[in-house]
Amino acid sequence: MRAFMMGIRQGIAIAAIVFLSSLLSACGDSGGFWDDKASSFALDAADGINSDTSTSNEPITYAKQLGRMNNDAFVAGELHVTTNTLAAYGNTQISAVIYDMAGNVYTEPTEISFSSNCSSKNLATLTSPQDSKNGKASTLYTANGCIGEDVITATAFIDGKDVTANTIVNVEAATINALRFVSATPNRLNIKGFGETEESVVQFMIVDKEGRAVANQSVDFAVSTEAGGISLSDKQATSDENGKVSIAVHAGTTATSVRVTATLTDNPQISATSDVLVISTGVADQNSMTLSLSVHNPEAWNIMGSEVKVNVHAADHFNNPVADGTQVYFTAEGGQIDPECEIQNGSCSVTWRSSAPFPCYGRVKILAVMTGEESFIDANGNGILDQDETFYDMPEAFRDDNENGQFDEGVEEFWDFNQNNQYDIADGQYNGTLCNPETNPQCSSDKQKIYVRDSINLIMGSSTARIELLQADSSGNY
């Protein structure tokens, strides 16, 4: 119809030229100024035609438009789409053609950009830009979590201006098959008010029956217990373009374990439960630190470089593993030992190697220390030290080389926790996190910690056995 109307308008313009020419001839003037003006008028009268009135001999320039072909007719402003309705994660071909208003294909190579609402949110993909060939360019549209109507727009810059065309595809929602637990970071939290890590981000993923992510789905959350004030940052969230949905869990004031359950809002039959989150102090407790040796009596008295693995296990007041990354420091009376290790999953190890010095009788005292807190008996089970409850007051850590159970100044080495250059005995206060100085005068005012410690003896054995015979007297005494 547009092509037909264009022809009519062009016919009218030509008729106008004939009429003006006849009129001028009748007046005795068949050329010159009026001939040029008549030609210019005819060109301007045709829809979509630009002209320069300075001369009638320059080429005519027609306006360009993006569109599609409907059989043999050009439809401006609309894109061709193979399929308007797509299944979830389906795809379809989108194409555009460039015509001028005289009905001619514009064959100059032109860059055409394709975009859509969903592609801008990573919920669909379009291969863009595309260069036209013989006036046509195509792209593949793929839904990647998009749901519902998506407007697709093609844009080309021609003759100094943008020309556009668009179409709409309708993407069906995916059939949700499952909710999956992805992660909980971190999976260990400090009790509220007693540490730095009091929040964990728990993540789930929504998938269809093909295992593909499903976006824009509402999910409800709940915790298995609210003991001590455990809470969630929100009760509901929406899955992102990757099908993932996250919620934050905030620790309470009680040591416990908790799980998060996620349920699809529109289908409560679909749900998932997180792994266990542990809420504890994560701070080493004096009576929960243990040293062990891979070999207690290595052949090392006269052999250099014999190795023994020294293991440390550490837990907090609730006997949950201490926080990953906690440093443990070592010292040895004889031989050499690695200076430190880092706790992972409640334990770590270093290596002791035989070398000088060689202590008397080959007995080597090994000491390990780490930042922690004193132990106490929680008689009422409220998780903190209350007034009149029993705690174990500790002096500064020292390596008891002579094994007499006490620090001998000038003979034995100690670990100076408070850096005052002197050995400090027990201070009469509970040093640790699980105490409130406002309600219990036994608590140190700043919840100061200590070096918790453990030690063990390693015996450097010789390569040959030494046997001594003792003679008994007549009474059987040696």
Size (the chain), residues: 478
Q: How far is CA 327 from CA 324, 340, 359, 388, 454, in A?
A: 9, 7, 27, 33, 14
pTM for the predicted model, two decimal places: 0.60
Q: Give me the pLDDT at residue 30, please.
A: 42
Owner of token pair 């374990």: 257
Establish whether domains 64-171 and 281-463 are of one fold: yes
> How high is the pLDDT of residue 472?
82
- Was domain 176-280 assigned CATH 3.40.50.720? no
Specify the pairing of strand 347-353 against strand 336-337: antiparallel
**E strand intervals along 36-116:** 49-50, 61-62, 64-70, 73-76, 80-81, 85-86, 91-100, 111-116
Judged by DSSP in three states, 22 sits in: helix
| pLDDT value for 436 | 80
3-state secondary structure of 42: helix
DSSP secondary structure letters along 308-375: EEEEEEEB-TTSPBPPTT-EEEEEESSSEE-SEEE-BTTEEEEEEE--S---GGGEEEEEEEEEEE--
User: What tokens does 163 get?
Assistant: 């020309």
| 68, 154 contact by CB (below 8 A) | no
> Does domain 64-171 bear CATH number 2.60.40.10?
yes
Sign of dihedral through CA atoms 46, 52, 55, 57?
Answer: negative
* Cα-based distances in Å from 379 to 215, 315, 384: 51, 20, 10
Collapsed DSSP state (helix, strand, coil) of residue 258: strand
Supply the pLDDT for residue 207: 93
C-alpha 119/C-alpha 131 separation (Å) is 20
**What would you report as the CA-atom Rg of the chain, rounded to the nearest whole angstrom?**
43
Q: Rounded to whole angstroms, how far apart are CA atoms 424 and 451?
A: 12
Q: How do the pLDDT tens digits run along the chain, 478 residues long?
A: 344 334 434 443 434 433 334 434 444 444 433 343 333 333 333 344 444 444 455 555 568 899 999 988 899 999 999 999 998 889 999 999 999 888 889 988 999 999 999 999 988 999 899 999 989 999 999 998 888 999 999 999 998 899 999 999 999 988 888 999 999 999 989 888 877 789 999 999 999 988 888 888 999 999 999 998 999 999 999 999 899 999 999 999 888 999 999 999 999 999 999 999 999 988 999 999 999 999 999 999 988 999 999 999 999 999 989 988 999 999 999 999 999 999 999 999 999 999 999 998 899 999 999 999 999 999 988 888 998 899 999 999 999 999 999 999 988 999 999 899 999 999 999 999 888 888 888 898 767 789 999 999 999 998 887 777 878 888 877 7
Q: Which amino acid is at 319?
A: N
In which element (H, E) is residue 15 found?
helix 2-26
Q: Give me the numbers of helices (H) and strands (E) for the chain, helices first please.
A: 2, 33
pLDDT at position 59: 55
Q: How far is CA 224 from CA 221, 255, 274, in A?
A: 10, 14, 10
Domain ranges of the chain: 2-62, 64-171, 176-280, 281-463
Q: Distances from the Cα of 104 to the Cαs of 3, 97, 139, 165, 473, in angstroms?
A: 11, 11, 23, 18, 130
Tokens 């030509």 belong to which residue? Answer: 14
CATH architecture under which domain 281-463 falls: Sandwich (2.60)
Q: How far apart are CA 278 and CA 191, in angstroms?
A: 10
Query: What pLDDT does residue 50 have?
Result: 44
> Phi/psi at 430 (nearest 5 deg)?
-80, 120
Q: What is the separation of C-alpha 447 from the centre of its chain, rounded to a whole number of angstroms? A: 34
To 10 degrees, what angle do helices 2-26 and 33-45 make? 160
* Inter-CA distances, 324 with 255, 269, 281, 282, Å: 17, 37, 12, 8
158 with 109: CB under 8 angstroms?
no
For the chain, the straight-line distance linking the first and the last C-alpha, in angstroms and rounded, comes to 129
Got the DSSP string for 267-308?
EEEEEEEPPPEEEE---EEGGGEEEEES-SS-B-SS-TT-EE
pLDDT for the residue 323: 87
